[in-house]
Structure formats: C-alpha cells, structure tokens
Amino acid sequence: MGAFLFIFFFVVSTSGILLGAKKNSNGFILPETTSGTTSNFNQWKSVAQLELIARKTLRDSVASSLSTEIDRIDIRKEKGIVKFLFKEHIYEIQLDGATGNVLSIGQRRSDVIENIHDGSIVDDYLDTGGYFKLIYSVSMGIALLLFTITGFWLWYGPKKLRKSGR
C-alpha cells in the first residue's frame, strides 16, 4: 500500500511544505500583505469604487486579455487594505482602502499549490463536482492515520514484548 501511495504522499508533503513557507517566501509564493493609510472605515472608499480601480489596474497594468471576474475580496481592516482576487487566474491587486492607491500587484502561486495539495486541480480538470477532492482527501487522511498507528505499533510493540519477557 505504501508503494502505491508513495506518489500521493510525495505530492501532499511537498505541497504542504511550500504552503507552510508561503508567508516567508519574500512574496514569491504569496504576495506580501501591504499596509494602507488608515483602518477607519469612515475614511474608506466604497467597495464598488475599489472594485472598479482593481479591474482597471488589472487591465492596464497586467494584461487586458485577462478576465476581470472577481473570485474574492479580502478586506484587511487592521492593515487598511483590500485585496482583490480574480477567478480565472492567480493575480491579486492590493489597494489602499482610503485612497484607492494600488499598493501591490502580485501572483498568488499559493492558490495553485493549494489546489494541487488538496486534489482540487484534478477535480476541476475532470469536472467531478468535488468528488475527486473528497475521495482523495479522505483516502490520504485514512492512509496517513493507518501508517501512523502501524508505525507506532512497529516501534512500540517490540519494546512491550521485550519488557514482558517473551
């Protein structure tokens, strides 16, 4: 079973290491989160205004051919910024919430790594509606649990037998 699951464990462990290091990658895996001018929402532009700025920035500063469809908007009140993440590619635009100034344009490679890590990339490719990801995640979790339990027993069992004198 271990030989069969080797490639899957390799993928999960490698992608897990990269995800663990994403905030310490100097912006290569995940863009650094910047800081805006104020965390006071009363001084911020509306989300609609900021969205227009983010879409225009993507078209003008990255590529006009990229989709401007937004997947998520991440508001970091304490940092005074808004991150716009797009649906069909890995770019993010960080804006100052108050001024609308562009603080960062970066690629979120961590999203691709996460999709590899949890099997979403295969699920999306095969269009299985989440079933591949579910089966993959549960199978990997059960296999890791079984290997942990049997590995512990292979270590502890002989010690216990030696103590009992058998």
Write the DSSP assignment of the chain as a string of letters. Answer: -HHHHHHHHHHHHHHHHHHHTGGGSTTSSSPPP---S---GGGSPPHHHHHHHHHHHIIIII-TTS---EEEEEEEGGGTEEEEEESSSSEEEEEETTT--EEEEEE-HHHHHHHHHTTHHHHHHHT-TTHHHHHHHHHHHHHHHHHHHHHHHHHHHHHHHHHHT-
Domain assignment of residue 7, yes or no: yes
Say if 121 falls within a structural domain.
Answer: yes
> Both 86 and 62 in a single domain?
yes
Domain that holds residue 76: 31-107
| 35 and 88 both lie in a single domain | yes
Residues 23 and 49 reside in one and the same domain? no
Same domain for 3 and 20, yes or no, is yes
| Residue 115, pLDDT score | 94
**Angstrom distance (rounded) from CA 73 to CA 62:** 18
When mean pLDDT is compared across 6-10, 41-45, 132-136, 160-164, the lowest value belongs to: 160-164
Mean pLDDT value across the chain:
94
66: in domain: yes
Residue 166: what pLDDT? 63
Residue 67 pLDDT exceeds 90: yes
Asked if residue 45 belongs to a domain, the reply is: yes
Same domain as 103, residue 46: yes
> Does 153 map to a domain?
no
On whether residue 36 sits in a domain, the answer given is yes
Same-domain pairing of 14 and 66: no
pTM for this entry? 0.81
Average pLDDT over residues 24-47: 96
Q: What is the pLDDT of residue 12?
A: 94
Confidence of residue 152 (pLDDT cuts 50, 70, 90): very high
**63 and 124 both lie in a single domain:** no
Tell me the average pLDDT across 12-37.
96
Q: Is residue 71 assigned to a domain?
A: yes
Distance CA 51, CA 85 (A): 11
Instruction: Over range 23-51, report the average pLDDT.
Output: 96
- Please tell me whether residues 13 and 46 are part of one structural domain: no
Burial of 152 (0-12, 13-18, 19+ CB in 10 A): exposed
Number of domains in the chain: 2
